[in-house]
Structure 1
């Protein structure tokens, strides 16, 4: 089975924001402003990654300032993600990376001011800008997802450092925190929705968010598998976890994840039919929110597969 079979099966619209090129240039200016290159990655890495284009794919209707904020957040997240990968190289690197992660969490919880760490200063800049345009509820939700992601980074560092292969059950427990949750509140923040907290927290809405998150993760695993197979250390990928736990050949494990992908598409349809009715205004906004989540997850897939070939084998 080709790892491109599932290139276009994620739900959602495929579009690119008109500010894409300008925002891409802005992300590079942001990298320079906070001196992320070359300490963390060379400037060429940021140029090739096209995080501004990623933001334009995920939020095709955002205005310029909103899109710049999304692009800067994505730049920060992928820098942290890559730095965590290098933090798995040995015990000393892991200690240094974990200290940085603890500082990020303290900043998100308003427990301390940033140190001289350049990534900490970049995080504060992003948070200040989100605080200025978000409702208190959505800002707290965003920060909560950020903290969950950073805690999942601890898990992945230890997983790589200790050569630990998690179980399928552990994958479903931990993988969503490193998936797409962080980017979901941006849909509501950018659209300035006025949905009550009880709507966001309703069990059906939360289930839809989880399903869309996992659909994005399954797609990521399917597309990245061929590249990851050639790496010395395999990442947090359900294909390789299933291959080991269920003692199946690689191709069977690929089909196993593809079947999960299809099953979750069906689950998504079932959940959509269970959305309760609150009022005309609330349900219209909720529908736009969910469609925005579809577009966000699909946008990531299009950026990774179509625009950048991120998962192609080296």
Structure 2
């Protein structure tokens, strides 16, 4: 792939790293290998070079080791499934994709595994058990809902691919917010740090907007770093590529415009933060930790994108066996 210059993206948030990062590095392969999620040498090498453990350690810098392992395994699961949706022909088969998603949701809801289930389903069942062992069921309802949105976005992308559609920017943004898989990992902030965010705070207009802006910032940052790989793969679900194809911007200008959108959304986040009302001392303290978690995600994601090899090569995967 040809070289492009990634502009400096605005990020006023400090970078932190979890104190258990070295232990996590040793652990990083244990879970994915136990559930046979790396089917061949190519998958193993791609996973090894991606260094997802660094992303987990940066995005959840304050949590204890067991929660960090769960976060790492969830990130691994999401990235492995994302590769299936983006890099294999499964990404052009929305109905087949729906079948997998329906089964995954059944497992997240507690259905028993069968010998017909793929390794990813077994791994997801294990994640559910471990999360519920250390989390609470009320929060898990929100976590489950975030997965439904993620799966919906993946199907919408697959529908566009099979129809040969390049979505306009507004439609693209709405799909990307779902298909980016960001909401499940943002929900995990509460789990990892054992926060209790009451529903009336969660549903407050400013808090909802803040979460949405953080989601957008994470998506646009990834899009900027992954644009060339996705162009080489023939995918159009990327902010840079939508600007390039739909608005006829040269690639360098499209990257610059995407960076401007990213930076403006960060500034909007900060304005929203300054306008959050007080909910009382205890809740304000919990909410402050949650917002710090959003900041950690944004800073760590940019650091990781800049150093991972994940977005440097284009390749084709085989569809997993159903």
TM-score (norm 2): 0.88
CA contact (8 A) 1:40 1:83 kept: no
| CA–CA distance in structure 2, aligned partners of residues 119 and 284 of structure 1 | 37
In structure 1, the partner of 2:185 is 183
* Equivalent residue number for residue 248 of structure 2: 247
Cα root mean square deviation, aligned: 2.4
1:197 equivalent among 196, 199, 221: 199
Which residue is equivalent to 2:226? 224
Which residue number corresponds to residue 212 of structure 1?
A: 214
Matched, 1:116 2:126: no
Residues 266, 54 of structure 1: CA spacing in aligned structure 2 closer, same or farther, 3 A cutoff?
A: closer
| Deviation at residue 313 of structure 1 after TM alignment | 5.8
Cα pair distance change 1:90/1:259, threshold 3 Å = closer
SS in 1 for 2:89: coil
Look up the match of 1:99: 99
Unaligned residue ranges in structure 1 (runs of 5+): none
User: 1:94/1:194 Cα in 2 relative to 1: closer, same or farther (>3 Å)?
Assistant: closer
**Equivalent residues in 2 for 1:44-63, closer than 5 Å:** 44-63=45-64
- Deviation of 1:203 (Å): 1.0
Q: Count residues with an aligned counterpart.
A: 310
Equivalent residue for 2:20? 19
Give how far 1:90 is off: 8.1
- The residue aligned with 2:317 is none
Where structure 2 has 5 or more consecutive residues not aligned to the other structure, the ranges are 315-322
Q: CA 1:197/1:90 → structure 2, altered by over 3 Å: closer, same or farther?
A: closer
Instruction: After TM superposition, give the deviation of residue 210 of structure 1 in Å.
Output: 0.6
Cα distance in 2 for residues equivalent to 1:112 and 1:4:
46
After superposition, the Cα gap between the structure-2 partners of 1:117 and 1:198, relative to the gap in structure 1 and judged at 3 Å, is: same
Q: 1:87 to 1:47 in 2, by over 3 A?
A: closer
* Residue of structure 2 equivalent to 1:36: 37
Q: Which moved more, 1:15-24 or 1:203-212?
A: 15-24
1:265-280 maps to which residues of 2 (within 5 A)? 265-280=266-281
- Following superposition, the deviation at residue 13 of structure 1 comes to 2.3
What's the offset of the Cα at 1:32? Answer: 1.6
TM normalised by structure 1 equals 0.90
Task: Please list the CA deviations of residues 22-43 of structure 1 after superposition, one character each: whole Å capped at 9, or x if unmatched.
Answer: 2133231111211112269632
Give the conservation status (yes or no) of the 8 Å contact 2:217–2:266: yes
Q: Distance in 2 between matches of 1:76 and 1:40?
A: 18
In the TM superposition, residue 138 of structure 1 has moved relative to its aligned partner by 1.6
Distance in 2, matches of 1:65 and 1:175, equals 30
Q: How far does residue 85 in structure 1 lie from its aligned partner after superposition? A: 2.2
Question: Contact (CA 8 Å) 1:88, 1:157: kept in 2 or not?
Answer: no
Counterparts of 1:296 and 1:112 in 2: how far apart (Å)?
33
Offset, 1:245 = 2.3
Q: Structure 1 stretch 246-255 or stretch 129-138: which is displaced more?
A: 246-255
Q: Report the 3-state secondary structure (helix = DSSP H, G, I; strand = E; otherwise coil) of the residue aligned with 2:28.
A: helix
Note closer, same or farther for the CA distance 1:122–1:292 as it changes in structure 2 (3 Å cut): same
Aligned residue in 1 for 2:152? 151
Instruction: Give the direction of change, closer, same or farther, for the CA distance of 1:90–1:169 in structure 2 (3 Å limit).
Output: closer
CA distance in 2, matches of 1:62, 1:264: 27
Q: 1:252-280, CA deviations, whole angstroms, 9 ceiling, x for partnerless residues?
A: 32222222122212211221122011111
In structure 2, distance between residues paired with 1:206 and 1:137: 18
Q: Structure 2 matches for 1:165-176, cutoff 5 A? A: 165-176=166-177
Following superposition, the deviation at residue 232 of structure 1 comes to 4.5
